[in-house]
Amino acid sequence: MGLSDDDLGRPLVAVRGAYVMRRPHAIFIWENLLKCQRKVLDSGNTPREFTTIAVSDGIAMGHEGMKSSLVSREIIADSIEIMVRAHQYDAIVGISGCDKSLPGTLMAMARLNLPSIFVYGGTILPGNWNGSPVTIQDVYEAVGTYDAGKMSLEELTSLENVACPSAGSCAGMYTANTMASISEALGMALPGSATPPAESEERHKICFETGKSIGHLILNDLKPRDILNYEAFENAIMMANAIGGSTKAILHLLALSREAGIELDIKDFEYIRKKTPHIANMRPGGSYVMLNLDNVGGIPVILKSLLDKGILNGNVETVTGKTMKKNLESYDFSKSKSYYKEQKIEFRNILRTVDDPIHKEGTLKILFGYLAPEGAVI
């Protein structure tokens, strides 16, 4: 296998990717695995890659295959646990690109509690149809429009052909981009790693940096349960509300908290929502996609905004070995400042300030009543 005694004597790092050829998010997962491995090797550790399943909610939608989606999260978490335990790996780099593969990877990391870093495969670019940006959401709506006799088959086909123009996960703030944003807020991913597109030089840099950074975690024995405390989950819930994120974030954060041994209740989401302003104007509730958010500085800008207003918990540990506050103090915000200076109006359309939010309270509301005595999410 090309391994020397020295290679086998070093810490063995599981470099795992959710790689399947059936879905757009996964096209570059294998390439990203190789980039992470190279830097794992450079950091004095020995990488060992493997892959897991990954179900595409887009492909599974509208038929009985949707019943396979949520359970795939558990299978992903279980398979990572099996591989890491069976081979006695010392650390984990987990690359995921879509929906259930993100929380499944994080759940396995919390369960195994070995030095771990999560890295997102990256967002897809928006398509262009008749001069307007489009995403998979527009295709879903167009199918209904066609069924209602208000759109021709030719128009629907032309939209389908341009809606997903590159590799990466769905472009709006749907489940994948929501959970990627949350991974930064939890402190389980490197700062600035959530928003760059899958097909970008910045995404390649993030994979290199992740592979390099795992060496620091191994050296300092920093583990997921050192990071995933209650305050980190508060930050994650704040992020989901500030970005107008997917309602599935609640489902996944409750599962992740159980793996991390944190007592998180659905009622906790409501009190955190009420103190968190909604500031990112993202699809499907808003107008913009992950690429736009990346252009104005990405998730660190949102975290810094919440921290400066005393809302975010800044003293939580992160995979950098520094606190969230220290990360943000040293983060390079020049991209955000440059964009704001050159396109002030568009910047404000994409990302509002905490003092002038889109809504004063967050977007993921918990309801209780006769119809839903155990709670409901809207």
Domain extent, residue 30, equals: 5-125+166-377
Q: Can you give the pLDDT at residue 348?
A: 86
Peptide bond into 277 cis (omega under 30): no
d(CA 132, CA 61): 25
Q: Can you give the pLDDT at residue 188?
A: 98
pLDDT band at 139 (very low <50, low <70, confident <90, very high): very high
d(CA 239, CA 245): 8
For residues 213 and 269, state if they share a domain: yes
For residues 52 and 149, state if they share a domain: no
Q: What is the CATH number of the domain that holds 228?
A: 3.40.50.2300
For residues 68 and 138, state if they share a domain: no
For residues 150 and 246, state if they share a domain: no
Question: pLDDT tens for residues 288-299?
Answer: 999 999 999 999
For residues 284 and 366, state if they share a domain: yes
Domain boundary pick from 145, 165, 185 = 165
The partner residues of 50 in beta bridges, in order of sequence, read: 16
Res. 337: pLDDT tops 80? no
Question: pLDDT tens for residues 114-133?
Answer: 999 999 999 999 999 999 99
Res. 101: pLDDT tops 90? yes
Domain boundary pick from 135, 165, 195 = 165
For residues 327 and 351, state if they share a domain: yes
Using a cut of 0.85, tell me whether the model's pTM lies above it.
Answer: yes
For residues 294 and 358, state if they share a domain: yes
For residues 267 and 195, state if they share a domain: yes
For residues 322 and 246, state if they share a domain: yes
Query: Between the CA atoms of 190, 285, 244 and 109, what dihedral angle is there, to the nearest 10 degrees?
Result: -50
For residues 81 and 222, state if they share a domain: yes
pLDDT band at 159 (very low <50, low <70, confident <90, very high): very high
Task: Tell me the percentage of the chain whose pLDDT exceeds 90.
Answer: 85
pLDDT band at 58 (very low <50, low <70, confident <90, very high): confident
For residues 145 and 228, state if they share a domain: no
Domain boundary pick from 165, 188, 219 = 165
- Residue type for 370, please? Y
For residues 171 and 106, state if they share a domain: yes
* C-beta separation of 125 from 196 below 8 A: no
Q: Can you give the pLDDT at residue 298?
A: 95
> How many folded domains does the chain comprise?
2
Which residues, 6+ apart, have CB-to-CB distance to 367 below 8 Å? Answer: 375, 376, 377, 378
Task: Tell me the percentage of the chain whose pLDDT exceeds 70.
Answer: 96
Res. 91: pLDDT tops 70? yes
Res. 220: pLDDT tops 70? yes
For residues 252-278, average pLDDT: 97
Which element (helix H / strand E) includes 290? Answer: helix 290-295
Question: pLDDT tens for residues 350-360?
Answer: 999 999 999 99
